[in-house]
Amino acid sequence: MRISSLFSMMFLGLILVTLVGHCYGQLKVGFYEGKCGGNNVENVIYNVVKQKIKADPDTVSDLVRVSFHDCFVRGCDGSIFLDGANAEKSAPVNKGLGGLKAVDDIKAAVEKVCPGVVSCTDVLVIGARAAISLAGGKWFEVETGRRDGFVSRKNEAQASIPPPTMPVPQAIQLFASKGLNKDDFVVLLGGHTVGTAHCHSFRERLYNFRNTKKPDSTISPTLLQLLQKTCPRNSQTDNETFLDQTPNSHFKIDNGYYKQILAHNGVMEIDQNLALYPSTRCLVTGLAHNPNQFLERFGPAMVKMARIGVLTGSQGEIRKSCGSVN
């Protein structure tokens, strides 16, 4: 293709974006405008999420985490919400996954003002954006127009969600298989700036790391003492601790997580290794030293993740209830 032709096509593309708004495939910012009478469903979702966070600050991390667990299995199709003995939510990797009930409640509120129009998948995408904004993150536009899938399989969830022990190079390859690059991986893992992890996710690091009969040497002595107190060696109680150890920052979207892993205060193995692996350490350092850099990049990374395996048109449906197909 000649350069002049390339420039012409780029210019035409800019004109089209200006005319029809930001689009990706059949997704579009403002997809539901004019489809719900005088109701703005994004505002409805925002207000419900605000109430949820007021009642339970963990709602922020719940919605961010559910987004990841949905999109990495069959794409962003709401399959995480489907009920069933062998559905995704029953997989061990989804043990303790919060936010599912919150999405059900948000969907119910949307159905009251706009029945049968907004997918559960889009409810989650819009809800996660609201939660991020309410927790101090930068507001970003979300693309909508997704439809809900019909299939949810426990074994697929178990095989697709990366464990906290996954080596960084392997995790980078997994993200690449979903259309996400190394920078997206590092930025999205920054979602651990909010939320908690249960003992079963990191207990091995505390007492018998890699069968050495010793703790993981990359954990700072202070954090090791705290985690061993939270998760005693022979206790069967699956306690939890904050992923971001920054005081007074546990429910805030900020760059504290990156500062902590640079200080060897990463709770899960993959968190700490993110700051140690040469290919990712440089970006971690940049995000730790510049709070605005993380805030600017987190939203766009969430938007990019929300494009994975999207269903549109006749490929899916609009569920009346997120737990079952129509």
List the catalytic residues: 69
Q: How far apart are CA 326 and CA 311, in angstroms?
A: 16
Q: What stretches of 135-181 show up as alpha helix (H) in DSSP?
A: 154-160, 168-177
Greatest CA separation found in the chain? Answer: 70
- Residues 6 or more apart from 271 whose CB is under 8 A from it? 164, 189, 192, 243, 257, 261
Judged on CB neighbours under 10 Å (0-12, 13-18, 19+), 207 is: middle
Map residue 112 onto helix, strand or coil: helix
Per the annotation, where are the binding residues? 70, 73, 75, 77, 79, 88, 162, 192-193, 244, 254
Per the annotation, where are the binding residues for Ca(2+)? 70, 73, 75, 77, 79, 88, 193, 244, 254
- DSSP one-letter code for 218: T
Per the annotation, where are the binding residues for substrate? 162
Q: How far apart are CA 296 and CA 183, in angstroms?
A: 13
∠ CA 163-99-122 to the nearest 5 degrees? 100
Per the annotation, where are the binding residues for heme b? 192
Question: Are 76 and 61 in contact, with CB atoms under 8 Å apart?
Answer: no
Q: How far apart are CA 21 and CA 293, in angstroms?
A: 25
Give the chain's radius of gyration (CA, Å): 20
